[in-house]
Amino acid sequence: METLWVIINVLVLILLIGILFWMQKKHYSFTKRVFAGLGLGVLFGVALQWIYTSTSDVVIKSADWFNLVGYGYVRLLQMMVIPLIMVSIISAIMKLKGGRNLGKMSGLIITVLLATTAVAAAVGITTALAFDLSAVNIQGGEVEQRQGAILEERLGDVEGRTLPQQILDFIPSNPFADMTGARRTSTIAVVIFSAFIGIAVLGLDRKNKEQAETFRGMINAVYGVVMRIVTLVLRLTPYGILALMAKTIATTDLAVIMNLIDFVLASYVALIAMFIIHLILLALFGYNPVTYVKKVFPTLTFAFTSRSSAATIPLNVQTQSKKLGVSEGIANLSASFGATIGQNGCAGIYPAMLAVMIAPTAGIDPTSWSFILTLIVVVMISSFGVAGVGGGATFASLIVLSTMNLPVALAGLLISVEPLIDMGRTALNVNDSMTAGAITGKVMNEVDKDVFNDKNIELDMIQA
């Protein structure tokens, strides 16, 4: 009988996919189909939760099938991350008139990412203190204790690593290994390798124009093919969001969430506050916040459901260039850097809140200015090289807590609500990278205002 219910659930998912496919055939806009996928996924997940409960074998086995669509889509996006970054950055740099703009462009993006991370840490600290959060009051079960032990084991990988050692990890020693994602800093390493190729082509222009033009033709051809593949994959976004959201809602244990409801609420208050700060920054640089939100919301929706900043890179780049009017070079750099540097949610707010919660257990006053200022600086520096995939926030927390001489095992007490909070954190991470791109584009006068102000524009690549 259990197998029959699983089959029925899978058939319902296929039916909902059919509805989204019908909407596509009827030429509903990409944004409407994304929202439809989100809404249908939420309703389906709630129905499964209500009928079977989140821990039932039927839901668990059904979710396993849902992953074929949801995480299958995420993997296809991840498949395109490295090729897209490489050809986009090489192509963008080749179009620059000299290398001076590259340094200024990269410097501005990284400055915005790090500055907003420092602000995010301050927001996280303020929120944790306002909600009077403390790890002393949280009781953990066997699963939480086991997670705490795992965190202590992982501490050995990061403990004692100095800032120069962490920066050294960014430099690629084997770019082909980094193309496989072999290291947590692989994305940044590929960005650096690609930048070297682009700069080398600019230098080759002066030495051998013919060879430079030949290479340009090759990269342009590869770029065209890669973008066509990205087009095909991004068309699947509504279906992926449908399955991801249905699975997430159906498998969420509401009882556990209620036990940690203060931390969940505080986390989302901090995330929303930081998102508002992003909008204020954009307004200061001449962007209409309402128009901005409307244009980036589908991308943030995918980031929310997928929980992967890295997987969102293709959609992030296209949203910046096709909807916000940011130049492709800046869009690619900000999306790539933002997936591994200065993540406001995972590397900013979350570690700061954990540190404030855990500090009393080590006899440290979390309200002292010496603790707060040190924590903000540590969070900002530690935000370098945090992987834009699931587990990135945990890694960032390990670095921050160990640097602040705080026990890391207590972070395992929050494992039960980690997926729920991670969705919001990831969306904020992606929004931060788009904010960095938009601000850098405005400063460098590389934003097409007509594209940003066009309220009816869709991602041409997806509609094609």
The number of angstroms, rounded, from the C-alpha of 347 to the middle of its chain's C-alpha atoms is: 11
Rg of the chain over all Cα atoms, to the nearest angstrom: 22
Q: What is the pLDDT of residues 22-56, one digit of tens each?
A: 999 998 887 788 889 989 998 999 899 888 888 88
Q: What is the pLDDT of residues 381-411, one digit of tens each?
A: 878 766 554 556 677 777 787 778 887 766 6
User: 442: which DSSP letter?
Assistant: H
Contact at 8 Å (CB) between 350 and 360? no
- Domain 2-463 sits in CATH at 1.10.3860.10
By CB neighbour count within 10 A (0-12 exposed, 13-18 middle, 19+ buried), where does 295 fall?
buried
The residue that leads in pLDDT, 463 or 268, is 268
Q: What is the pLDDT of residues 87-103, one digit of tens each?
A: 878 887 887 655 557 78
Domain boundaries, the chain: 2-463
Written as one string, the DSSP assignment of 73-130 is HHHHHHHHHHHHHHHHHHHHHHTSSSSHHHHHHHHHHHHHHHHHHHHHHHHHHHHHHH
User: 397: which DSSP letter?
Assistant: H
For range 273-282, the mean pLDDT: 97
Q: Which of 368, 256, 240 is nearest to 314 (CA)?
A: 240
- When the pLDDT of each residue in the chain is averaged and rounded to a whole number, the result is 83
Q: How far apart are CA 262 and CA 134, in angstroms?
A: 10
The answer, as to whether pTM is greater than 0.75, is yes
The 3-state DSSP class for residue 326 equals strand
What's the confidence (pLDDT) of residue 461?
43
| Res. 273: pLDDT tops 90 | yes
For range 293-304, the mean pLDDT: 89
| Res. 153: pLDDT tops 70 | no
Q: What percent of the chain has pLDDT over 90?
A: 31
User: 253: which DSSP letter?
Assistant: -
Q: Which of 137, 128, 131 is nearest to 366 (CA)?
A: 128
The phi, psi pair for 343, rounded to 5°, reads -70, 115
Amino acid at 408: V
End-to-end Cα distance, the chain: 45
